[in-house]
Amino acid sequence: MSIYSSSSYIPVSKRITDPIKLEEYRAKRRAYQKIVRDRDKQKTRDTSKASYERNKESRLNSRRLRHQMSPWHTMLQTAKRTARNNKLPFDLTAEYLESIYPADNKCPVFGFEMEISKQGESRDKSPSLDKIVPEMGYVIGNVTIVSLKANRMKNNGTLEDLKKVLEYYSIITS
* Whether pLDDT at 32 is above 50: yes
Q: Which tops the pLDDT comparison, 118 or 150?
A: 150
Q: What is the pLDDT of residues 60-88, one digit of tens each?
A: 777 777 766 677 788 888 899 999 999 99
Q: Are 57 and 108 in contact (CB under 8 A)?
A: no
CA dihedral in degrees (158, 159, 165, 166; nearest 10)? 160
- Write the CATH number of the domain with boundaries 70-173: 3.30.40.220
* Residue 2, CA atoms < 13 Å, CB-side half-sphere: 2
pTM equals 0.57
Cβ neighbours, 10 Å, residue 8: 5
Region of 137 please: left (phi>0), alpha (psi -120 to 50) or beta.
Answer: left
